Amino acid sequence: MEVGMVVVVAAAKVLVSLWCVGACCLAAYLYRVVWVTPRRVLAEFRRQGIGGPRPSFPYGNLADMRDAIAAAKQLAEAARRQRRGRREVGGGGGGGGIVHDYRPAVLPFYEKWRKDYGPIFTYSMGNVVFLHVSRPDVVRDISLCVSLDLGKSSYLKATHEPLFGGGILKSNGEAWAHQRKIIAREFFLDKVKGMVDLMVDSAQTLIKSWEEGIDKNGGTVDIKIDDDIRAYSADVISRTCFGSSYIKGKNIFLKIRELQKAVSKPNVLAEMTGLRVFPTKRNKQAWELHKQVHKLILEIVKESGEERNLLRAILLSASSCKVELAEAENFIVDNCKRYESTAVTAAWCLMLLGLHPEWQDRVREEVQELTMVIQETLRLYPAGAFVSRQALQELKFGGVHIPKGVNIYIPVSTMHLDPNLWGPDVKEFNPERFSNAQPQLHSYLPFGAGARTCLGQGFAMAELKTLISLIISKFVLKLSPNYEHSPTLKLIVEPEFGVDLTLTRVQGEVVNEQMVYVNIIWLSCEYQKATYTGNIKVNACQRSQEPKIVCQERGSQHRCMMNML
């Protein structure tokens, strides 16, 4: 008995010792991660003359950020109440008082810190140190960097893991380069050209429903367009990725929409510790939705067999490069999860056209005008609020030394609204600014920057041009008095209360000729050099496959039209 007790006591002592050692190691790890490393990094920036707000332990500057957002929301709500009051007494409308600068409402803390500390400053969220950069020379150097030592920011990776997993959007280094090599070939020009028919078919469904609404309401109808635009974008990617299984693909988008909402707020504990295994209500919801999405995709893979679609093409490309099926799945999931960016951009573009009817007339008259309108929309309302990067090794840009591990955030809206880069009318909707010259690389970042520029931007632009050209050819848009201008940042910058438009049918030449002008010149015309002198000049124009592109030569210019009927 005494021997047994001795053994038990000895075992207990060992367990206590192990527990103490584990607790000490955990405490040392947390002390280093939460306290020592962030302060060493901040001290390095202070030595370079780079300041920033003082962080508080353990949440950094999160309290300051939340207070600023709360104050901005109170001001925005007061302004909305005033606008509603004016509408009730018969004054004002949906477009009254719109300012195309959402920064004071959406990112008020950044604006304050920029005024206090200049275009480069540091701040902290928990133990994560950020370098906020809006100085053009530093942004230019970052944009030109192709080194794998500059990767995607790891902040929010834990929060967003159920949504993006290990796909190309969040991966770094060789894993990112390998995935990009596989995926890029599926977005070459010849591949995108073959997808336009699907975009047209999807757009026709939306057009028909709006026409029916107008007919039922005596020639004019008020529509909140957001759900219809999302349905179009989801339909395009469903048809492209899943082929004949696109209806089941739509179920994937419903799940993804729920998943986006579940991970839209940062999980501070996960980001600070790197631990994401706590079974909180939100985590369990995200994990379950993630499993459902992957299950649906696997079902479609089995059902599609040898059918040619983007999913099958990616799988074949992956198998030829000896890539696991899971990586190919990740691409499809990532692509599906980004469909909302295109839909939101289309909504912003139609809002701006409703606010500026003169540009609707110009788009109907001249094909090149639509590209300018979309470019200006992406300047004023880029879907991504930031270009985020992380120094995976020590780096230097524009004379600024950046320690390993630092997250670099470039505020896209600040670069897009810099009067030194864009002129004194920077906060006005003026597509003409894109008629004379292409913007500088570092001043225009709607699709990201550098080697990590969005692979699907050609696909997204074709989708936008197809939809908006069809809508403008069929309808006259006017911003509804019910429209509330309130950009908000969730995963992307979107209209908080949606976009309300008043629609009537277009009368006259465009409808009578049964022609739709589509600004996808690169889908129908081969050209050696594009110059922005009012129109793109091309050296050759060829008729494509259905839908038919008609190119008419007018002196040194070409007009390209698409016959949809």
Q: Can you say which residues are annotated as belonging to the binding site for heme? A: 454
Beta bridge partners of 494: 488
Query: Using CA of residue 264, residue 265, residue 270, residue 274, what is the dihedral sign?
Result: positive
Contact 44, 391 (CB under 8 A): no
CA distances for 191 relative to 203, 243, 323, 516, angstroms: 19, 15, 22, 23
Beta bridge partners of 411: 386
Q: Which amino acid is at 12?
A: A
CA pair distance 427, 433, nearest whole angstrom: 12
CA 168 to chain centre: 14
Q: Which two tokens stand for residue 418?
A: 């810099």
Edge-to-edge strand ranges of the sheet holding 548-554: 516-517, 557-563, 548-554
CA pair distance 435, 535, nearest whole angstrom: 8
Note the helical H segments in 171-245: 173-184, 189-193, 196-216, 226-242
Beta bridge partners of 224: 500
User: Peptide bond preceding 547: is omega within 30 degrees of 0, i.e. cis?
Assistant: yes
User: Peptide bond preceding 58: is omega within 30 degrees of 0, i.e. cis?
Assistant: yes
- Give the three-state DSSP class for 22: helix
CA pair distance 331, 311, nearest whole angstrom: 9
Q: Which two tokens stand for residue 180?
A: 């990009």
Closest listed residue to residue 486, CA positions, set 79, 112, 91: 79
Q: Please name the helix (run of DSSP H) or strand (run of DSSP E) that holds residue 369, with its range, or none.
A: helix 368-380
Closest listed residue to residue 384, CA positions, set 404, 347, 410: 410
Closest listed residue to residue 434, CA positions, set 483, 391, 379, 389: 379
CA pair distance 328, 174, nearest whole angstrom: 16
CA pair distance 397, 184, nearest whole angstrom: 28
Locus of tokens 């089941």 = 248
- Can you say which residues are annotated as belonging to the binding site? 454
Closest listed residue to residue 445, CA positions, set 130, 135, 120, 143: 143
Task: Please provide residue 10's backbone torsions phi and psi, each rounded to the nearest 5 degrees.
Answer: -65, -40
CB count within 10 Å of CB 324 equals 10
Q: Please name the helix (run of DSSP H) or strand (run of DSSP E) that holds residue 493, with its range, or none.
A: strand 493-495
Most distant pair of Cα atoms in the chain: their distance: 107
